Structure 1
Amino acid sequence: MFYDTNEAPNVRSASPPQAAQRVGYLFDQMKGEIFNILGNESLYVDRIQKLEAELTVYKRAYNDVDTERKQFEKLRQEAQKEKEDLENQIKGYRVVTLLDGDGAIFSNELIVQGCVGGHTAAQMLADSILQHLTSNYGANQYQLWVYVFFHKRGLMDTFGRVGNAIVKQKFEDFIMGFNQAAERFIMVDVGAGKEAADAKIKAHLEDDIRLPQTYKIIFGGCHDNGYVTNLRSQITAGFKQKLILLRSYTDMAAGIADLDLPVLTIPDLFLTQKLGTTQPAAQIITSAPPGYSSPPVGPIQCSAPVSTPLVLPPLDQSSSATPPPTVELQSPPTTRRSSIPTTYSSAVQILQKRVPTPELDFNNSSASETSDDIPEPPSAPTFTRSRHVNPNIPLSKHKPPPCTLFYLAKCKHGADCKYGHDYLLEADHFTEIRVNAKKAPCPAINKGEPCLWGDECCYGHYCSLSTKCHFFKQGRCKFVGVDMHKEPKIYSDEAL
C-alpha cells in the first residue's frame, strides 16, 4: 500500500474516535491510489493500442519495401545478365587477316590452277588460321575476314620476267577464285604507286585493331620492315595480345622478329623466297600442294559452281567445346556484267564512294542556296580512307556531318568540302540522308525554275507541313517557291 504507517498514530493505543479517524484516512489514501492505478491503466491501454497500430503500419511498409527490394533484385539480376550478353556481343571473335600481296605471294603451284587454285588457297588459309586459333585460344565462334592488297600488273610483269608465263596467264583466274571462295575474302588490286598496298594495310590495322569486336589481327607483311613502326605503336597502345604474325618468306624482315609476337606458318601456301629465286616454272606445273588435288587437264572454267564448303577441320571428338563456324564458299556467277545506273533512284542505291562533294547545310536559310547546288549525276567511284558512323548520335550531329550531295548525287567542291565524304554508310544511313534532304527545298523549285531531276530529286519540292505550315504564314519557311505549300498531286513515301 502506498501510505506510511509511521505518520499515523498507533491505532491500538488510540481512542476509538481517533482509531476510526485513522482508518478512514488510510482508506481514503488507498482508494485514491487505486483510482490512480485504474486511470493510468486506461492510458496504458490507449498507448498500447497506438503502438500496435503503428507497428501494423510499419509491418505493412516493411512488407512493401521488402517486396520492392525483391523486385529490384530480380531486375538487377536480369540487367546483369543482359549486360553480360551485350559484353559478349561487343567482344565478339572477329579475326581480320591483312596480307601484303606484293610480298606474301601465293605459291606458283596454286596460281597455275587458276580459279580452283584460288579456292584451294582460301581453303588452306581458313583451315590453318582457324585451327591455330582453336588450338591456342579455344573453340569459339570465330568470324574470319581476309584482305589481300597487291599491285596486279606489277606482279604479272614480274611473273613474266622470271619466266613463269603460265603463272602470269592464270593469275587473274586465281584472283577470281579467291574472291569467290567466301563473302569476306577479298583480293584488291591497289594499282601502281609506291607503298600503295602498305597504306591500305596500315589504315586497316589502325582501325580494326581498336574495335572491341576484333579478337585477333593476322598480319601478313613480315617481309617488309616498313611495318615495324606501326606494329610497335599498336603494341605500345596495349594491343599486343591481338596481333599474330603470318610468315610468308622463310626469313622475316629485320625488326619484325624482334617484336616477340606469335608466328603462324602455313606450309605450301606462299612463296618462301623473293619472287625470282624460287623453283623453275617447268617444275611448277607438275607439283601440287600436299593434301590437295592437282589441277584438272585443260582450261579451268570459273563459271562452274563450287559446292565444297570452306570449313575448319573437325575438332577432337573428345572435346565438348563447340566447333568454330563454317565459312561457306559462294558459287561463282555465270557471267560478269557491269551496269551504269540510268536514273537518279538507281544511282543513289550504289553504296560506293564518289568524287568528294559538299552537302547542303540544313541550318542555312534558302536565301544562301544557289542553283549550283542542284545534284549532278554520280561519277566514277573513288576509294579513300573511311571512318565509321557513331550509332549513338544522328548523322546530322557528326562532325563533320556526311555530305548529302556526295552520297546521293554529286557536287563540285571536292577536297575543299566542309562536310564528310569518307563515312562507311549502311542502307539505313542512306535512307536517313534522303529523308533529311527532303526537309530542305530544291534550289531550282525554290527560285521558280524547273528541276532537271523532277520527282527523283533528292531535295524537297513541297513543304512537308503543306498548308498547315505556320512558318510560311509568318514568312519564315525555307520553302518559298510557288505552290510549294500546296498538297502535291503525287506525294508518297516512295518519293522520299
Structure 2
Amino acid sequence: MANHDLTSTSARELQARFCQWSELDKERNEFIKTLLDRISLNEVELDRLKLDFEDQKKSRVQYQSEALGLKRELYESAYRMNRDAYIAMLVDGDGAKFRDSLLQDPISGAAEAAQNIKQHVRHHLMGTPLANEDVPIVARVFANIRGLGNALRLSGVVASDDDMYTFAEHFTNSRAEFDFVNVGRGKENADSKIRRMLSHFYKDPRCKKIFFVACHDGGYAHDLREYMGPPGIETRIVLVETTPAEPALRSLGFPIIRFENVFRDVPLQNESKLAIRNKPMTNSSGQIIAPGQIIAPGQNIVSGQNIASGQGITLGQRIAPAPSITPAQSTTTARSITPAQSITTTSNGGVSTEPSPTYSTAGGITGYRNVTVKPAKPTRRARVIEYNADGLRIDPPVRLPANKSAQDSYRRKCDSISPRVFCNAFYLDKSCPRGNNCDKEHELALTADELAVYRFKARTSVCYNGPGCDSYHCCISHHCPQDPFCGRAGCKFGKSKFGDLHLSKEEMEPATRWTEGSDYPVDL
C-alpha cells in the first residue's frame, strides 16, 4: 500500500509532505531543547537549594544552641531573683510613730518593734512563697529624731529626748536589714528620701513587695499614683495605716492594713494647732468652755489645753485664781503654767517643736487679767512649681541685672570670702536648715541689687535633682536659663547627667502647677 501510495503520489505532494514533516521535527527538536534547558536550570536551582538547606541546618543548630543558652540564662536569672528576693518596708517616722509602750522602754521596745514588724509582714504574706523565713525584710524608717524626740517628751510619751536616739540605735541594730535613719530638720528631707527609695525598690525586680507606712500624708498620693497597675492585677505595694489614712490615698485602691502592736493609731496630744483651734474646750465634766469664760488655774481642760501642762489658752479667755488658793500657792500655780514649748505638725504630717508664749502672769494673786495676743504676722505667699506636659519642671525667667556696679561689688565680695561661698538657702530662701553648722557664708551683707546678681548666678547651675525636682526651696535651674533661645555651643545644660536640659518654646508651656501646702496639682 505504501509503495502504491508513493508511486501514485506526485513529486509536489511528496515535497509538501516532506516540508510538513520537517516542521514537525523542528517543533519537536525545539520542544526537546526547551526541556533540556529547563532541566539544566532546575539542576542549578536544586544545587542552590541544597546549599541553602545545608546553611539552614547549620543556622538551626546554632539557633538551637543559642536558645538553649538563653533559656539557661533566663532560668539562672529567675533563680537568682527568687533566691535574692526581698520585701521592703518604708516608714515616714515623723508622722507614723511607734507605740508609746515601745518607746518608753527604748532598748527592749526597739527589738520588740522589729520583731512585731516581721510577724505582721509574714502573716500578711501567709500562703505565698514570700512567707518563707529565708526571704529578708528590708525596713527603712526616716525621721527627724531630734524633733520627734522633743515632741514625744512634751507629750509625756518619753522622759527624755535621748530616748528617741536610744530607740533608733537599737532598732537599727535589732536586725541587719533594719535601719532608722536620722534625716535632720526640714520637711523635704524625709519626703524626698522615701520617694527615691520607693522608686528604687519598685524598679528592682528582686523586691517582691513594698509595705508603705505613710498613710497620714496625702502628699504621697501623687507619687503612688504612677505605680497603680491594671485592675485585677495584684499590686506590689501595700499601704500600712497608722492614724486614719488620708482620703487621697484610700482612693488609689491599694490594699490597706494595720500593724496593731507597732504604730500609734492616734496623733500625739495637741499635735496639731489646727485641731486645737477648731475643737471646743471642755472641762472634766464635759461642759464646753466658751471664749471669755473664767477658768481657775489648774482646771482640767479635756481638749488637751490643760493650763497646768502649759499647752495654751483660747484667745479672749480669762483666767481667775481659785478661791481657796493662798498667795504662796497662787505664785506656785503661776509658775507651773508657764509653757516651754508647743507641738505643731509639719505639712507632711510630722511633728516639730517651737517656743510658746508665756502666760505666767495670767491669773496672779491680784485678780483677773486679760490675756493679750499680738496680731499674727502677715503670711508669706505660698511658693509654686510648674511642670510641662512631660513632667519636666519649668523655671521662672531670670535675667542678669544691668547694674554694672552691683555686678562688680558682688564679685569683690565673692573674692573676699574665697574659698568659701555664699549660702543659697540663707541668702535666697531666708532660712538655712543647718544654721550654725553650715560651712558657707552667712555674715556678709548683700544689697538688694547684689542679691539680684547672686540669684542669677545661682540659676546658672544645674539642680542635682534634675528636671523632676519637687523642692519649693530650690533656687537653681532645672533647664537652661536661656531657653527657649539658647544657642551656646557647649552649654553645660546640654551635657548634664540628666541628658540635654534644653526646652523648646512648646516644652516651656506649663501643664500643671503645684502650690506649697496643697496635696494636689492644678491643671493649667
TM-score (norm 2): 0.40
Q: If each structure's strand is expressed as a fraction of its own residues, which one has the higher value?
A: 2
Structure with more contact order per residue of length (Cα contacts < 8 Å, sep ≥ 6): 1
